[in-house]
Amino acid sequence: MNAPSRPRPRPAPQTGPAVWAAADLTAADWMVPVGTDEAAELEAALTAAQAAAPVPPLSRLAPILADVTTRLDTGRGFCLLRGLPFDRHGAAAAEAALLALGMHLGKPLNGSAPAVQRLVGQPPAEAGTRSGPPRFHTEACDAIALLCLATSPEAPAHMLVSAGAVHNEVMRRDRAALAELYEPAPLIEEGEAVPRAVFTVTGGAFAARYTRHAVEQAASLPQPGAAPLPVGLRPAFDLLDTVCAEPALMLRLEPRPGDLLLFNPHLVWKLRTLAEAAPDAPEAAQEFRRLRITVAHSRRTVAEPG
């Protein structure tokens, strides 16, 4: 006897502060003010880390970080902290302070690689050879902290897009394509194929997860049970890529040394402009540190059984 088929999802337009277009926002919507006392507290933490001493508690920064948590979960989905002296005491001290700061937001994601990763320069060469519009991507975590340590005038801007706004534009253009993006498809995650839908709504909470190459990789691997992409999924991905690259939707940010960009990848997608580099790699004109974070009340993108 065949199991009953899972009912197809019924997408609805997304609303709320996390559904935005670039033209809707001013710097006041995403810039988090940092006072002199908070900057002095981080200065002390960096000085301690530089001397290989324990990083003191960040009690003055705690209320700001609580506000950041709210902004990421129920606000615009991203924010930028400016005015903190992250770039004044060396990379190792900045990494230790970033890790301490991340503990206020959730639990740093720690796998086989170090929790704080070095990102530099441009994306890998093969990323620049893809045809069509640039692809945005997300990562398997609940928040990302991206710390700028060095940059240059020639460095590419960091482009963000609201997943909710993309969702609504795809709905406006092609409802059938949007329905495809609510259907789970296997993607490679931590070396294994797991089912994920691009868009889900669980318990009333919208979440979005898009990593096209991981879905295409899962479909192409010679593994038991592997299946080709559904007929309608590739054109739905093509439309999604096109919408993501709409200039009216993309927000352009140009971080300065010491800036800390934080975003919720379930709500905000980022265009890849950086590549991972070994800690001992030569200095680069553009250098960042990335910390991936999980939180207790995550927006889940795993489709629930029907």
Residue 227 has pLDDT above 90, yes or no: no
Helix (H, G, I), strand (E, B) or coil at 293: strand
- What pLDDT, on the 0 to 100 scale, is given for residue 142? 92
Q: Is the pLDDT of residue 104 over 80?
A: yes
DSSP 33: P
Residues 6 or more apart whose Cβ sits within 8 Å of residue 108? 99, 102, 115, 116, 291, 292, 293
Q: Which of 231, 161, 226 is nearest to 188 (CA)?
A: 226
- Provide mean pLDDT across the span 100-110: 88
Nearest CA-CA partner of 254 in 164, 134, 160: 160
Distance separating alpha carbons of residues 25 and 263, to the nearest angstrom: 15
Q: What is the DSSP secondary-structure string of 86-124?
A: GGGS-HHHHHHHHHHHHHHHSEE--SSS-SEEEEESSPP
Identify the pLDDT of residue 113: 64
C-beta atoms surrounding 200 within 10 Å: 22
Q: Give the N- to C-terminal CA distance of the chain in Å, as an integer.
A: 17
Confidence of residue 213 (pLDDT cuts 50, 70, 90): confident
The two three-digit tokens of residue 92, written as one number: 């190792």
Rounded percentage of the chain residues whose pLDDT exceeds 70: 87
* Tokens coding 204: 């009333």
Would you state the structure tokens that stand for residue 156, as one six-digit string?
Answer: 């590419």
- pLDDT of res. 211: 85
The secondary structure of residue 268, as a DSSP letter, is E
| Predicted confidence band of residue 259 (pLDDT cuts 50, 70, 90) | very high
Give the DSSP letter string of 174-210: -HHHHHHHTS-EEEEETTEEEEE-SEEEETTEEEE--
Give the chain's count of helices (H) and strands (E).
8, 16
Q: When comparing pLDDT for 248 and 225, which is higher?
A: 248
Largest CA distance in the chain: 68
Distance CA 267, CA 142 (A): 10
pLDDT tier, 306 (very low <50, low <70, confident <90, very high otherwise): very low
Q: What is the pLDDT of residues 32-60, one digit of tens each?
A: 989 999 999 999 999 998 898 888 889 99
- Whether the model clears a pTM of 0.85, i.e. scores above it, the answer is yes
Give Cα 155 distance to the centre of its chain.
19
Task: Give strand pairing partners of 268.
Answer: 162
By CB atoms closer than 10 A (0-12, 13-18, 19+), residue 15 is exposed
Rounded Cα gap, residues 58 and 45, in angstroms: 8
Name residues whose C-beta falls within 8 Å of residue 98's C-beta, 6 or more positions apart in sequence: 86, 116, 145, 147, 260, 289, 291
Instruction: Name residue, tokens 């059984």.
Output: 305
Q: What kind of architecture, by CATH, is found in domain 22-294?
A: 4-Layer Sandwich (3.60)
271: closest CA among 293, 246, 298? Answer: 246
**Average pLDDT rounded to a whole number, residues 182-194:** 82
Q: What's residue 239's pLDDT?
A: 96
Q: How confident is the model at residue 122 (pLDDT cuts 50, 70, 90)?
A: low
- Quick one: average pLDDT of 170-184? 96
Under 8 Å between Cβ of 269 and 158: no
Q: What is the pLDDT of residue 3?
A: 46
pLDDT: which is higher, 218 or 265: 265
